[in-house]
Amino acid sequence: MAGVGFVLRRLVRTDSLSANLSGLGHATMASSGPWLITCIALVLIATIGDDQIDSTILRQFSILVTYNFSFSLVGSGALVMVVTRRLADCIFIHDLREVPALLVGAITLVFAIMALIGIVLYGYLLNLTLPERVFGFAGLLLSGGVWLTTAFISALKNYLIITTSFALGMLVSLLAALVLAEPFGLSGLLAGISLGLGTIFFLLLARITIEFPGSTEKPFAFLKASRHLWQLALAGCIINAAIWVDKWIMWFAPGATNLGNSLSSHEAYEAAMFLAYLSIVPSLALLLIDLETAFFERYSNFYRLIREHATLNQLREQHAEIKRVLMVGLKRIVLLQTAICLIAIVLAPSIVNAVGGGSEMVPILRYGLIGALFHVLLIAAMTVLAYFDLRYELLLVSSIFFVLSLVFTFVSTTIGGEYYGYGYFLAAMCSFFCALYLTSRRVNQLLFQTFIANNQTLRDR
């Protein structure tokens, strides 16, 4: 699934500064587009509409979009993981005939899952007017659809359509929300963001169907063929829940606010964590265009040599090259993210002041920045585990991250506000070191794992 990363890597390796910047920008959209663009749209709507829209309505709108992103990400996590793996298998065997049916079946299922979540959330839990429920529900459905299409866009070579889709979606969200907010209030804002998400979803969907034409018969056949991937599905759901569980807890912690209509939020914590997450965007782009692509080349060569009956010395040389590339790639990410983290920690008071936050956000932001450093390294390690099909290890790391984030965040809410953010930081750090140990052990034992541990004949004996 390194797909678009190879095209972008060629772009950033040209001698032109504009090409380098363009490549990094496209990589940012490919790796972080859905949440980054929507959050930018939210900020712009709040900034531009500050004089025209009631502040309470703006806050309610932000909370509802956050709810949609949270529950759609967790609800679609299992399906997105399985679809990503199934698509990667199709690409590997150079047989894409199944992809159109896979797309149709996956969209149907993700909409069904989002509908169930939406019925509970907007039908029972939230006290909203009918138009607000309808447009909030539509936003939830489209959010799930966007998460699903991201499983396909990495396989696309046309990076321009990815960036263009997200940019147009943000523009539509901004303009529609501002136009509809004054006459329709909260429902107008929700309709605007839904129109933007719909623009992104349908543009990406159109490109995917062009890229992968074919029959859509038996759209749910992939479920039977993917039954053995249950660990991957569970890991996809749990890792997304781990990202959000600290926010869920903080919605009910001291300092949280209730804006009516059953809407609860901890604005200081969520704003600080959003700023912390912004710090990993450059590293995610680097992961896509540098580490994953370089690793994938060596990874593919290793298994190609096996199929071509290469000598043991040749395999050992390629094994050493895999380890070297991983070390170099991780070192670059560590250096980049550490530099960003240290600069942001020093400038934390100024950053918080610039966004209009209170002093209580400063320590949360600092802990969040350190946590984000370990989080991006955790993503890199889990990417390697996924490539080697270590599904139990992926599930273990995801579960550790979820449990530790839940426990540590809950403990921090009981011992005082000065410890807010500690839970995420400690959970990300411990989970990364666990993932690093599992990844290092498996990579170092690659030859043994390939010829002995994964040998079905020896297992049967």
Assess whether pLDDT exceeds 80 at residue 170.
yes
Distance from the Cα of residue 328 to its chain's centroid = 24
Three-state SS annotation for the chain: CCCHHHHHHHHHCCCCHHHHHHHHHHHHHHHHHHHHHHHHHHHHHHHHCCCCCCHHHHHHHHHHHHHHHHHHHHHHHHHHHHHHHHHHHHHHCCCCCCHHHHHHHHHHHHHHHHHHHHHHHHHHHCCCCHHHHHHHHHHHHHHHHHHHHHHHHCCCCCHHHHHHHHHHHHHHHHHHHHHHHHHHCHHHHHHHHHHHHHHHHHHHHHHHHHHCCCCCCCCCHHHHHCHHHHHHHHHHHHHHHHHHHHHHHHCCCCCCEECCCCCEECHHHHHHHHHHHHCCHHHHHHHHHHHHHHHHHHHHHHHHHHHCCCCHHHHHHHHHHHHHHHHHHHHHHHHHHHHHHHHHHHCHHHHHHHCCCCCCHHHHHHHHHHHHHHHHHHHHHHHHHHHCCCHHHHHHHHHHHHHHHHHHHHHHHHHCHHHCCHHHHHHHHHHHHHHHHHHHHHHHCHHHHHHHHCCHHHHHC
Assess whether pLDDT exceeds 80 at residue 29.
no
Give pLDDT, residue 7. Answer: 44
Residue type, 300: S
Distance from the Cα of residue 26 to its chain's centroid = 16
Give the C-alpha separation, 379 to 355, whole Å.
Answer: 28
- Give the number of C-alpha atoms closer than 13 A to the C-alpha of residue 298, restricted to the C-beta side: 23
Q: How far is CA 332 from CA 25, 85, 377, in A?
A: 18, 27, 11
Assess whether pLDDT exceeds 90 at residue 265.
no
Give the C-alpha separation, 319 to 88, whole Å.
Answer: 22
Q: What is the pLDDT of residues 51-79, one digit of tens each?
A: 778 888 888 998 999 999 999 999 999 99
> By CB neighbour count within 10 A (0-12 exposed, 13-18 middle, 19+ buried), where does 92 fall?
exposed
Please report how the helices 312-346 and 361-387 are oriented relative to each other, as an axis angle in degrees rounded to 10.
170
Give pLDDT, residue 26. Answer: 52
Whole-model pTM: value is 0.88
Q: Which residues are CB-contacts of 330 (< 8 A; sequence separation ≥ 6)?
A: 291, 377, 380
Give pLDDT, residue 281. Answer: 85
What integer best gives the mean pLDDT of the chain? 85
Strand partners, 265: 257
Strand partners, 257: 265
Q: How many CB atoms within 10 Å of residue 183?
A: 8
Highest-confidence segment of 36-40, 173-177, 264-268, 425-429? 425-429
Give pLDDT, residue 403. Answer: 97
Q: How many CB atoms within 10 Å of residue 387?
A: 16
Q: How far is CA 133 from CA 130, 188, 388, in A?
A: 5, 12, 43
Q: What is the pLDDT of residues 105-127, one digit of tens each?
A: 999 999 999 999 999 999 999 98
Query: Span 132-160, mean pLDDT?
Result: 85
Of the pLDDT bands very low, low, confident and very high (cuts 50, 70, 90), residue 226 is confident
